[in-house]
């Protein structure tokens, strides 16, 4: 199944290599297929876990902010180099905020951190499997239900 994830306007996906995007998409597909065989309680439990998952923007913001604060604190005793590190981290955070992507996001993305849209896509697919939406067929087996849920989550 290759065409279910059509988020081409997403700056992060656009700037991420196809291999990384594919790996993230495959992880979602595998999870949704697995959950298609589970009961409502298991799906609800996994949805709760997804609600707590940090997205790429949060990860980049926290990382850049932590490096900025660390550089400022160490700069008080350690000299100018640490303050420069703070400036670079703040600049990278600004770049990410303005462009929606940057070097820190690229690094975090390679580690498998997903965008909010990607997390929401998985959540909507799982909610569809759980029966929250009427468009998902209840026949055809787990694979057909998983595919229909992923397509419904995009629409």
What is the chain's mean pLDDT, rounded?
A: 87
The stretch 3-17 carries a mean pLDDT of: 74
| Range 43-62 burial, b when 16+ CB lie within 10 A, else e | beebbeeeeeeebbbebbbe
| Tens digits of residue pLDDT in 95-133 | 999 998 889 899 999 999 999 999 999 999 999 889 887
Alpha helices in 79-140 (DSSP H): 80-99, 103-110, 116-130
The stretch 21-33 carries a mean pLDDT of: 94
pLDDT reading at 9 higher than 70: no
* Among 28, 20, 22, CA closest to 2: 22
Q: What is the pTM of this model?
A: 0.77
Q: What DSSP state is assigned to residue 113? A: P
The stretch 130-148 carries a mean pLDDT of: 77
Q: How far apart are CA 132 and CA 63, in angstroms?
A: 36
Cβ atoms 60, 97 nearer than 8 A: no
Q: Which residue carries 């876990």 as its tokens?
A: 49
pLDDT at position 140 is: 77
In which band, very low, low, confident or very high, does the pLDDT at 1 lie, cut at 50, 70 and 90?
very low
DSSP letters along 28-57, please? Answer: HHHHHHHHTTS-HHHHHHHHHHHHH---HH
């Amino acid at each position: 199944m290759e065409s279910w994830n059509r988020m081409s306007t997403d700056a992060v996906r656009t700037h991420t290599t196809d291999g990384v995007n594919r790996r993230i998409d495959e992880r979602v597909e595998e999870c949704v297929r697995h959950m298609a065989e589970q009961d409502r309680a298991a799906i609800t439990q996994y949805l709760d876990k997804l609600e707590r998952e940090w997205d790429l923007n949060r990860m980049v913001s926290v990382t850049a902010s932590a490096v900025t604060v660390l550089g400022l604190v160490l700069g008080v005793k350690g000299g100018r180099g640490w303050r420069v590190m703070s400036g670079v981290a703040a600049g990278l955070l600004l770049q990410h905020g303005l462009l929606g992507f940057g070097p820190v996001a690229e690094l975090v993305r390679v580690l498998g951190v997903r965008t909010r849209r990607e997390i929401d896509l998985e959540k909507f697919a799982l909610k569809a499997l759980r029966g929250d939406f009427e468009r998902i067929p209840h026949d055809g087996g787990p694979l057909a239900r998983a595919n229909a849920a992923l397509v419904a989550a995009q629409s």
